[in-house]
Amino acid sequence: MNIFKNRSKLLDRLMDIFCLAISICATLLLLAVIAFMIRESGPVWLTAGPVKIITGTEWNPVLKPPQLGIGTMICSTLWTSLGAIFLASPLGFGGAVFLSEFAPDWLAGIIRPVLNILTGIPSVVYGFLGATVLVKFFEFSFHMASGESLFCASLVLTVMVLPYIVVASESALRSVPSEYRQAALALGVSKQYLTFRVLLPLAKKGLLGALILGFGRAAGETMAVLMLAGNSLLMPTSWFSRGEPLSALIALEIGTSEVGSPQYQALFAAGLILLSFIIGINLFLTFLRRPVGNEVRKS
């Protein structure tokens, strides 16, 4: 008997060491990527200055001196990603409430696998469908010279981030301790009152985390916005303007830039800004996604 116990402890110890090694390797890989991007973009940060790069609105890296402002691309990134979250949040929260509290088990059992499938569809497929359906729709319906716009990109991003928001929001709702459901139902409140006045306030941190997760997913998307945003270097003045988000700028120009040139270094600077943006969002998400149940029980 002691032999089996010792073997079980040894296996647990080996598994702990294996998981720790994987975690260290993943962390080192991320730090290596950040260090590489800092090294490649370092000269342009020193020569042009961070403020001029981030707030500048002129991008023409082949001029002498080169114009390397990416403020226009940052603004386009915010238009597309925030617009997608604006459209996806009511749909995502509604879907999560329906799946968590109102959907029969057989229907929820169908919808959940469909959501998982939607998260696995390549973004180029979404972009292709948007270019052939949405762009044509705007061109013919509103007699536009080109249906490409930040709004069109936001619509496709809405479909892409919606499954993430639904799944994360449903998880937040289900993490509320069952004692609250039982106590509320024992008091005779309706299911609607329980959901909207008890469960949603208790799960608000998880719901906010779902939105941030979707925002990070939308901000880092490349192919769909590349195919739909219009790829214009002008500062967008509205949601329906054409633009070029950071990810699209990098994807379009990194292949033609000369290694070591100001354009090459500025593209790495744009990538570093985008990466910092995503890391910041994930750190904030990690802070928010503390165990809800423990906090509720303490309150």
User: How much is the pLDDT for 31?
Assistant: 92
pLDDT above 90 coverage of the chain, percent = 23
Residues 6 or more apart whose Cβ sits within 8 Å of residue 161: 84, 85, 88, 92, 214, 215, 217, 218
User: How much is the pLDDT for 298?
Assistant: 47
Is the sign of the CA dihedral 27, 30, 36, 41 positive or negative?
negative
Domain borders along the chain are: 1-48, 67-289
pTM of the model: 0.83
CATH class of the region 67-289: mainly alpha
Residue 68's Cβ-side half-sphere holds a number of Cα atoms within 13 Å equal to 27
Please write the tens of the pLDDT for every residue from 139-174: 888 877 778 889 999 999 999 999 999 999 999 898
Q: Looking up tokens 């214009």, which residue turns up?
A: 232
Average pLDDT over residues 43-67: 86
Residues 6 or more apart whose Cβ sits within 8 Å of residue 29: none
User: How much is the pLDDT for 86?
Assistant: 93
User: How much is the pLDDT for 3?
Assistant: 66
Q: Do the Cβ atoms of 208 and 47 come closer than 8 Å?
A: no
Q: Do the Cβ atoms of 164 and 217 come closer than 8 Å?
A: yes
Give me the residues paired with residue 67 across strands: 60
Minimal CA–CA distance to 221: which of 285, 88, 126?
126
Q: Is the pLDDT of residue 253 over 80?
A: yes
Confidence category of residue 89, pLDDT binned at 50, 70, 90:
very high
Q: Which run of H or of E encompasses 157?
A: helix 150-174
Q: Is the pLDDT of residue 299 over 50?
A: no
Residues 6 or more apart whose Cβ sits within 8 Å of residue 189: 197, 198
Spatial distance between the Cα atoms of 234 and 57, rounded to a whole number of angstroms: 8
User: How much is the pLDDT for 1?
Assistant: 58
